[in-house]
């Protein structure tokens, strides 16, 4: 009888410590989530606040009234150019650039992963070594070359180099292809398929997840890329959103911070949307390959 | 001199030899065809490599020894750029100091945070998936100009009308208002905090690594009566040293190259306390058009990164633990 009672209190106690552990866990995790997301929420809230409230009611995340005019005023841009132009430029830069990068990377990756040719291992090592190069080494001579070619103030310096693919993605896709059974290739070869045919009919459908991951990262990095457009696009009509935002806020005498915050928020929308829809690919891409995010 | 008997070909050996010669020939033909096909497939990268890496590197090396000005052209000046960098350019020294300070503080802090949060999320509790996503969001948007502009305002960037949310929040706990961007000691902390806030990608890599640690090890440690802290020190930490090392190298390299945040948030001010290497290099190249000097700076940056990576690899054998196959 006594034994049973003891056991009962023991169980109750255990359950209680378990419960308190769970509660502590969620308190910590939620508190941290608030700290992490507060700045983003603050930005969105500020973009909707009435102008006199932005710097007076600073910590609040809830505007007293929603002022959507901030978005209309921000969209009208500056210097006679609306944000429609900047967003279009950014979509060209990130969209076309991503297309070039992913298509080339897939083709090159197939060559390295499935064709045995002389010098393959050497070229592969050389390619991986280029990952170490800081972009600063290439930036200045590339600028001089593109300047000689008269490519400044066009998208060409930002797009043409990407036809060579991206080493990170080539490596990632190579690893992915190596995981596909070689028997599939051999069966197709017996059926008389060429290497090109195998690539299109056998490999390409299988590596779609890797291509999606590469496309997402490529789009992110290009959308957020600042240095490239800053250097090559000096004509405001060609500004991408990133360069435009910085020019917009650089005047030092902004009265309409509501409009600025509205455009800052809007510039994050494509990135956040992709994150929401393709989170799984992103998280797996980072966890398995160590791609910087 | 007699040949060894085995080397004299009998009829069947001749046949073998012919057969193998035919095979080699076929293989060679195959090889040649594959050579063409292989190089066709990798040609996009190969052409890009020569056009946009090899040739620029050669030019860059040449530029480093010239006084190249975009508008005037250049002349060979030998080591004068490097002499100027190390002996007479005070701002260069300041930019190196600022970069080292940033790397030395931001990289370890970021890794510690990433590991701590990964440990926190390495559980089967309900909802961890959502927290993982929430903590990763700052890293997704973190490199953008939008976040940089926002960050500046959070710390009271526009000082006349805006004291900054951070100052207001600090005021609640009784800490006096800080002039973040006016003081050389505090400005760099706004950038370090931004880096720490974006611990998402090292966190995900740590999380993947933590999943690899066999559960039996923890069970064994529990039976031996190990506390949670002991389990962390004796089981978790040694087993994930390869991942710590990988994250460290990646963060180190990107830390040396930080640009956008400093350009937008502090612009190198005050008193060059946040004039990071990449920012100073950009200014020399594209504001002053001193491209020879900037190219020389870029080569020193490459050597710096290579040196620290090399040192990290050399010291890694003393603390990185690889589970070998024989154990």
DSSP letter for each residue of A85-140 = HHHHHHHHHHHHHHHHHHHHHHHHHHHHHH---TTHHHHHHHHHHGGGS-HHHHHH
Q: Which helix (H) or strand (E) element contains residue B23?
A: helix B11-49
Beta bridge partner(s), residue B290? B69
Name the nearest CA neighbour of B157 among B190, B195, B196. B190
Helix (H) or strand (E) holding B262: none
- With b meaning 16 or more CB within 10 Å and e meaning fewer, what string describes A249-286? beeeeeeebbbbbbbbbbbbebbeebbeebbebbbebb
- The 3-state DSSP class for residue A81 equals strand
CA distance B283 to B227: 53
B286 interface with A at CB cutoff 8 Å: yes
pLDDT at B5 over 50: no
Residues of B in contact with A261 (CB under 8 A): 150
- pLDDT of B326 over the 50 cut: no
Rounded to the nearest angstrom, the gap between the alpha carbon of residue A54 and the centroid of all alpha carbons in its chain is 29
Dist CA B160 CA B158 (whole Å) = 6
Contact by Cβ (8 Å): B77, B65: yes
Select the residue from B27, B28, B41, B74 to test the A interface by mutation, using most A Cβ atoms within 10 A.
B41
Q: Which of residues 75-114 of B touch A (CB under 8 A)?
A: none
| Mean pLDDT computed over every residue of chain B | 88
Name the minimum distance, in Å, from the CA of B25 to any CA of chain A: 16
Q: Residue B204: which of A134, A142, A287 has the nearest Cβ?
A: A287
Inter-chain contact A39–B150, Cβ cutoff 8 Å? Answer: yes
The greatest distance separating any two alpha carbons of chain A, rounded to the nearest whole angstrom, comes to 95
The distance between the two most distant Cα atoms of chain B, rounded to a whole number of Å, is: 103
Distance from CA of B57 to the nearest CA of A (A): 6
List chain B residues with CB under 8 Å of A33.
Answer: 131, 134-135
- Counted across chains A and B, CB pairs separated by less than 8 A come out at 256
CA angle B107, B108, B110 (to 5 degrees): 65
Distance from CA of B216 to the nearest CA of A (A): 22
Contact B204 A139 (CB under 8 A): no
Contact assignment for A36 to B135 by CB distance below 8 Å:
yes
Supply the pLDDT for residue B1. 41
Contacts of A236 (CB under 8 A, 6+ apart): A79, A81, A244, A247
| Predicted pLDDT at A253 | 64
- Contact B52/A138, CB-based, under 8 Å? yes
What is the 8-class DSSP label of residue B227? -
Restricting to A residues 47-76, those with a Cβ less than 8 Å away from any Cβ of B are: 55, 58-59
Q: Which of A139, A182, A172, A130 is nearest to A157 (CA)?
A: A139
Q: Is the ipTM of this complex over 0.85?
A: yes
List CB contacts of B159: < 8 A, sequence separation 6 or more: B179, B181, B182
Average pLDDT (B90-116) is 96
Q: Quick one: tokens of B159? A: 């000082």
- Compare CB distances from B48 to A42, A134, A165 and report the shortest one's residue: A165
Which residues of chain A fall short of a pLDDT of 70? 1-5, 251-253, 288-293
How close, in Å, is residue B7 to chain A by CA atoms? Answer: 32
Distance CA A194, CA A191 (A): 9
Q: What is the model's pLDDT at position A12?
A: 83
Chain B residues touching A108 at Cβ < 8 A: 41-42, 44-45
Contact between B137 and A36 using a beta-carbon 8 Å cutoff: yes
Q: If DSSP codes are grouped into helix, strand and coil, which group holds residue B9? A: coil
* A78: DSSP letter: B
Q: How far is A143 from chain B (nearest CA, A)?
A: 9
Is B42 buried (19+), middle (13-18) or exposed (0-12) by CB count in 10 A?
Answer: buried
Picking from A236, A97, A240, the residue whose alpha carbon sits closest to that of residue A156 is A97
Contacts of B46 in chain A (CB under 8 A): 123
* Rounded average pLDDT over B73-102: 93
The region of weakest confidence among B62-76, B131-145, B153-167 is B153-167
| Cα angle for residues A67, A72, A73 (degrees, 5° grid) | 90
Does residue B294 belong to the interface with chain A, where contact is any CB pair within 8 Å? Answer: yes
Q: Do B208 and A288 touch (CB under 8 A)?
A: yes
B284 to chain A: closest CA residue? A140
Residues of B in contact with A132 (CB under 8 A): 253, 305-306, 309
What pLDDT is stored for residue B251 in this prediction? 92
Which is nearest to A60 in space by CA: B261, B102, B168? B168
Q: Which chain B residues are within 8 Å of A40, Cβ to Cβ?
A: 137-138, 141
Measured in degrees and rounded to the nearest 5, phi and psi for residue B290 equal: -90, 80
Taking the CA of residue B31 and the nearest CA in chain A, the distance in Å comes to 6
Mind telling me how many Å the CA of B150 is from chain A's nearest CA?
Answer: 7
Nearest C-alpha of chain A: how many angstroms from B326? 25
Report whether pLDDT(B204) > 80.
yes
| Prior bond of B270 cis (ω within 30°) | yes
Q: So what's the pLDDT on residue A185?
A: 87
Torsion angle defined by CA atoms of residues B113, B118, B119 and B121, in that order, rounded to the nearest 10 degrees: 130
Does the beta carbon of B166 lie under 8 angstroms from any beta carbon of chain A? no
> Which residues of chain B neighbour A245 with C-beta distances below 8 Å?
145-146, 149
Which of A53, A59, A74, A117 should be substituted to probe chain B, the one whose Cβ sees the most B Cβ atoms within 10 Å? Answer: A117
Q: How far does the CA of residue A1 sit from the closest CA of chain B (Å)?
A: 30
Contact call for residues B257 and A135 (beta carbons, < 8 A): yes
Average pLDDT, chain A: 90
What pLDDT score was predicted for residue A254?
73
- B222–A contact, CB cutoff 8 A: no
Within 8 A of A99 by CB-CB distance, chain B residues are none
Of the pLDDT bands very low, low, confident and very high (cuts 50, 70, 90), residue B318 is confident
B201/A224 Cβ within 8 A: no
Minimum distance, in Å, between the CA of residue B186 and any CA atom of chain A: 19
**Structure-token pair, residue A188:** 């197709």
Is pLDDT larger for residue B221 or for residue A60?
B221
Interface residue B263 vs chain A (CB under 8 A)? yes
- Rounded Cα distance between A172 and A209, Å, is 11
Please tell me the distance from the alpha carbon of residue B248 to that of residue B184, in angstroms, as a whole number. Answer: 27
* B30, pLDDT greater than 70: no
- Name the band, by pLDDT with cuts 50, 70 and 90, for residue B308: very high
Percent of chain A past pLDDT 90, that is, above it, reads 59
CA distance linking residue B62 with residue B99, whole number of Å: 26
The four Cα atoms B176, B182, B183, B186 give a dihedral, to 10 degrees, of 70
């Amino acid at each position: 009888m006594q034994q049973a009672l003891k056991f009962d209190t023991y169980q109750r106690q255990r359950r209680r410590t378990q419960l308190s552990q769970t509660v502590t866990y969620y308190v910590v995790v939620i508190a941290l989530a608030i700290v992490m997301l507060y700045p983003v929420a603050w930005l969105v809230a500020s973009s909707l606040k009435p102008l006199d409230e932005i710097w007076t009611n600073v910590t609040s995340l809830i505007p007293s009234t929603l002022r959507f005019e901030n978005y209309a005023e921000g969209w009208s841009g500056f210097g006679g150019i609306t944000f429609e132009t900047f967003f279009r430029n950014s979509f060209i830069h990130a969209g076309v650039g991503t297309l070039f990068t992913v298509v080339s990377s897939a083709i090159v990756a197939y060559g390295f992963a499935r064709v045995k040719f002389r010098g393959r291992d050497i070229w592969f090592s050389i390619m991986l070594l280029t990952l170490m190069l800081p972009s600063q080494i290439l930036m200045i001579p590339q600028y001089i070359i593109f300047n000689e070619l008269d490519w400044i103030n066009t998208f060409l310096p930002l797009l043409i180099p990407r036809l060579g693919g991206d080493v990170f993605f080539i490596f990632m896709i190579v690893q992915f292809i190596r995981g596909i059974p070689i028997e599939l290739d051999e069966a197709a070869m017996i059926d008389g398929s060429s290497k090109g045919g195998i690539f299109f009919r056998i490999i390409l459908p299988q590596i779609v997840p890797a291509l999606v991951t590469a496309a997402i990262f490529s789009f992110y990095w290009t959308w957020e890329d600042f240095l490239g457009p800053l250097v090559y696009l000096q004509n405001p009509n060609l500004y991408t959103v990133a360069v435009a935002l910085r020019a917009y806020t650089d005047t030092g005498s902004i009265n309409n911070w509501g409009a600025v915050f509205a455009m800052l928020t809007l510039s994050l929308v494509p990135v956040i949307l992709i994150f929401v829809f393709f989170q799984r690919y992103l998280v797996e891409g980072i966890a398995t390959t160590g791609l910087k995010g | 001199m007699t040949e060894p008997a085995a080397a004299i070909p009998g009829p069947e050996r001749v046949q073998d030899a012919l057969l193998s010669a035919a095979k080699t020939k076929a293989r060679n033909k195959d090889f040649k065809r594959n050579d063409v096909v292989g190089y066709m497939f990798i040609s996009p990268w190969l052409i890009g490599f020569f056009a946009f890496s090899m040739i620029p590197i050669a030019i860059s090396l040449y530029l480093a020894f010239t006084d190249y000005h975009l508008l005037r052209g250049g002349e060979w000046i030998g080591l004068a750029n490097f002499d100027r960098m190390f002996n007479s350019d005070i701002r260069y020294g300041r930019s190196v100091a600022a970069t080292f300070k940033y790397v030395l503080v931001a990289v370890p802090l970021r890794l510690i945070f990433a590991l701590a949060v990964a440990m926190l999320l390495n559980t089967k509790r309900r909802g961890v998936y959502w927290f993982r996503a929430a903590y990763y969001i700052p890293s997704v948007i973190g490199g953008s100009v939008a976040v940089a502009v926002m960050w500046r305002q959070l710390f009271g960037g526009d000082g006349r009308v805006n004291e900054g949310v951070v100052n207001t929040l600090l005021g609640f706990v009784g800490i006096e208002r800080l002039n973040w961007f006016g003081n050389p000691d505090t400005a760099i902390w706004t950038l370090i905090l931004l880096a720490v806030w974006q611990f998402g990608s090292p966190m995900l890599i740590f999380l993947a690594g933590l999943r690899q640690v066999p559960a039996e090890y923890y069970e064994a440690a529990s039976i031996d009566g190990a506390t949670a802290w002991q389990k962390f020190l004796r089981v978790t930490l040694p087993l994930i040293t390869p991942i710590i090392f990988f994250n460290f190298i990646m963060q180190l390299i990107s830390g040396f190259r930080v640009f956008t945040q400093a350009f937008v948030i502090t612009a190198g001010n005050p008193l060059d306390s946040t004039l990071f290497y990449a920012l100073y290099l950009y200014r020399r190249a594209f504001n002053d058009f001193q491209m020879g000097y900037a190219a020389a700076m870029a080569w020193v940056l490459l050597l710096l990164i290579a040196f620290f990576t090399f040192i990290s690899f050399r010291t890694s054998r003393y603390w990185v633990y690889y589970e070998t196959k024989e154990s």
